[in-house]
A = this chain, B = another copy of it.
Amino acid sequence: MTACIIAVGSEMLTPFRVDTDSLFVTEHLNTIGCDVRMKVVVGDDVGELAAVVQSALEWADVIVLTGGLGPTEDDITRDGVAQVLRRSLSENEEVVDRIRQRFARRGLAMPDINRRQGMVPEGATILENPNGTAPGLWLEQGRTAIVLLPGPPREMKPMFEAVVRDRLTPRSNGAGLFRRVLKITGRTESDVDATAQPIYGPWATQAVPISTTILAVLGQIELHLTAKAPDRTIGDRALDSAVGALGTALGDSVYSVDGSSLEAVVGRMLKERRLTIAPAESCTGGLLSSRLTDVPGSSDYVLSGVVCYSNRSKVEWLGVPEALIAEHGAVGEPVARAMAAGIRERAHAGIGIGITGIAGPTGGTPEKPVGTVAIAVLCGNVEKVRTFQFFGGRELVKFQASQAALNMVRLMLLSS
C-alpha cells in the first residue's frame, strides 16, 4: 500500500514554516504497512491542488491531505478534491448544527462564514472533530482512499488515531514498519558504526528484515531500527532481539532504547538510588540545571544549583580558593573539582558537579581553545574529572558540555 501526503497551505511555502503533520502521519501509516512514497506542499489554489491530487490518484492507494479545511476563502481543500473527483459539494445540516453547538457552548453565535465547513462532497464520510470546528472527510475513488484532515496537530492527530488508522488497516495487505531508536552518547558516529555495522548488516535480509540508519544529532548518535513485519508482535520480537544484540555490543554507551532523554534517564537513576544532585555551572550557564529540571518530578532530586560566571562568584558562592584560580586559571580540572566539592557541601547534595570551560566565540587561547571544558563529578568517595574539547558554536558547546556531564553521572551511577 502506497501513500501520498499533501499539506495544503500557502504559509508552508514561505521561509517560515515547515510541514510537520506529515511526520506523524508517516509514522502511523508505516505501522499499518503503508509506504509513503511522496510528500507535497501546495498553496491555497484550487487548480494547483486539484492537479496534485489528480496526479497522486494515478499511483497512490491512500492520499492524506492536511490543512485547508478552515472557514475562510483561502481554505480550498474541499473544493480542490471535489473538483478532481467530479463530486458536487453541498451543505450538510448535521455538520453545520454540530459547529453551531460548538459555538453555543461558549456562548457565541456561529459566524455565517463557518457554514463553509459544513460543505461536504457527494459520497464523503464525515469524520468527527472533537477538538475543532472542521470535520475530516473520507472519500473513495477506485482503489484510492482520500482522507482530508484539519491542519492543526491537536485536531489532526486525535482524528487520525480515533478513526483514520482503523479505516485504513483492513486495506493494507503489506507488512507494517515498526521502529526503535537507540540513543548513544560519548562515542563518535564512525566508532559506533564500526561496532554496530557487522551486527546490523545481516538483518536487512533476514525473515523479518530490519533496516538501520545511523544519525549524528546534537551531542549524541542515534541508531534507528525499522523492522518490516506482518504485525506488531512479530515486529516487536525481532526488534527486542536486535536492540539486545546492539546493546551488548555497544555496552554502556547506549543510554536509552525507549526514546527517553539523557536527563530523564539520569533522573530515573537518581530516584531509584534516592540520591540528590547539585550542579555548579560556569560555561554552561544554567543549561544543565535547566535540563535536569525539564523532567517532571525532578524536585525529588534537584535541590539547588549555582551559575558562577565570574571568578568572584566561584569563590564566594562555592568556596573555590582564589589561589587555585590564580594558579590554574578558572578553566581547568582543579577549579572544576573545587566547584563540584563546594556545591556538594553547600547544597547538601549527594552528587556535586562542576563545569568550567570556554563556550566562545571569544576567550580561547592556544592552550585552551574555544570548546575546552573541564567537568568534575563527585559522589561519595568516587570522583571523576575530565577535560573535553567540543566543536561548534556557543550553544552547541554548552549543550555538549551539559550532555557530557549528564553522561559522566550516568556512568558513575551504573558502576556504583
| Residues of chain A having any CB pair with chain B under 8 Å | 11-16, 18-20, 23-24, 26-27, 30, 36-43, 45, 48, 51-52, 55, 179, 213, 215, 224, 226, 281, 284-290, 292-294, 296-299, 302-310, 312-313, 316-317, 346-348, 359-363, 394-395, 398
Contact present for A15 and B23 (CB under 8 Å): yes
Q: Which residues of B contact A346 (CB under 8 A)?
A: 316-317
List 14 other contacts, CB 8 Å, given A12-B39, A16-B23, A303-B309.
A11-B213, A13-B26, A13-B39, A15-B24, A37-B45, A38-B40, A39-B40, A286-B293, A287-B293, A294-B394, A299-B309, A302-B307, A303-B312, A317-B346
Query: Cα distance A407–B38 when bound, in Å?
Result: 44
Contact status of A317 and B304, CB under 8 A, knowing A36-B13, A40-B39, A296-B361 = yes
Task: Describe A's contact surface by its main secondary structure.
Answer: mixed
Q: Which residues of B contact A347 (CB under 8 A)?
A: 313
Contact status of A290 and B20, CB under 8 A, knowing A306-B307, A346-B316 = no
Contact present for B52 and A42 (CB under 8 Å): no
Q: Which residues of B contact A304 (CB under 8 A)?
A: 306-310, 313, 317
Contact present for B313 and A309 (CB under 8 Å): no
Query: Cα distance A92–B53 when bound, in Å?
Result: 39
Contact present for B303 and A305 (CB under 8 Å): no
Contact present for A26 and B15 (CB under 8 Å): yes
Contact present for A309 and B296 (CB under 8 Å): no
Contact present for B289 and A307 (CB under 8 Å): yes
17 A-B residue pairs with Cβ-Cβ distance under 8 Å, sorted by A, are A14-B26, A15-B26, A15-B27, A16-B23, A18-B18, A38-B40, A38-B41, A38-B48, A38-B52, A39-B40, A40-B41, A285-B293, A285-B298, A286-B286, A296-B361, A302-B307, A304-B313
Query: Cα distance A23–B360 when bound, in Å?
Result: 28
Q: Which residues of B contact A312 (CB under 8 A)?
A: 303, 348
Contact present for B16 and A215 (CB under 8 Å): yes
Query: Cα distance A38–B9 when bound, in Å?
Result: 10
Q: Which residues of B contact A293 (CB under 8 A)?
A: 285-287, 307, 309, 359, 398
Give the number of times this chain occurs in the complex, counting copies.
Answer: 2
The residue in A15, A284, A298 that gathers the most chain B C-beta atoms within 10 A of its C-beta is A15
Query: Cα distance A373–B176 when bound, in Å?
Result: 46
Contact status of A224 and B16, CB under 8 A, knowing A309-B302, A310-B303 = yes
Contact present for B26 and A294 (CB under 8 Å): no
Query: Cα distance A288–B19 when bound, in Å?
Result: 30
Q: Which residues of B contact A36 (CB under 8 A)?
A: 13
Q: Which residues of B contact A30 (CB under 8 A)?
A: 14-15
Contact present for B309 and A286 (CB under 8 Å): no
Contact status of A284 and B290, CB under 8 A, knowing A39-B40, A224-B16, A309-B302 = yes
Cβ 8 A contact of A287, one of B45, B286, B306: B286
Query: Cα distance A298–B398 when bound, in Å?
Result: 14
Contact present for A306 and B303 (CB under 8 Å): no
Instruction: Output the nearest chain B residue to A226 by Cβ-Cβ distance.
Output: B14
Query: Cα distance A363–B293 when bound, in Å?
Result: 14
Q: Which residues of B contact A361 (CB under 8 A)?
A: 296
Min C-beta distance of A123 to chain B, whole Å: 27
Instruction: Output the nearest chain B residue to A318 by Cβ-Cβ distance.
Output: B304
Contact present for A18 and B11 (CB under 8 Å): no
Query: Cα distance A27–B14 when bound, in Å?
Result: 7
